[in-house]
Amino acid sequence: MGNNNPTCENWREAYRAALLEQDTTKLAQRINDARLAIIERIEGTLRHPLNSEHQAMYSALKGLRTLCEQCEAEAQRNLERNLARNLELRCRDDWQESAEGD
């Protein structure tokens, strides 16, 4: 983190914002913003590579990938829970209607 260049800190701040985001409705956008900032920084350093910064950006991208996978898995679990809940409610309603018709 020794580099005080604003473009260097931009990706770091975007990465921190993604890691610290608590609002799941904003998390995907934070992850995308961080990835874009890192990619833009990598493109900006291709002429004069900074090995320690490249390693930090690589680690950050891996962390964002993991965070994204966790976010997607949680969204899938929520979808499955909602589907199960809706199915249960529908079956209960159908059963009650059937019982009332008997």
Ranked by mean pLDDT, which of 1-10, 31-40, 85-94 comes out on top?
31-40
Kind and range of the H or E element at 23? none
Please report, for residues 9, 58, 71, 97, the alpha-carbon distance to residue 51 in angstroms, rounded to integers and kept in the order given.
16, 10, 30, 69
Q: Write the CB contacts of 69 (distance below 8 Å, at least 6 apart in sequence).
A: none
Question: How high is the pLDDT of residue 33?
Answer: 93
Q: pTM above the 0.75 mark? A: no
* CA–CA distance, 34 with 42 (Å, rounded to integer): 12
Q: What CA–CA distance (Å, rounded) separates 10 from 42?
A: 12
Report the percent of the chain where pLDDT is more than 90: 23
Report which residue type is found at 18.
A
**pLDDT of 102 strictly over 70:** no
Mean pLDDT across 76-90: 87
Which has the higher per-residue pLDDT, 39 or 2? 39
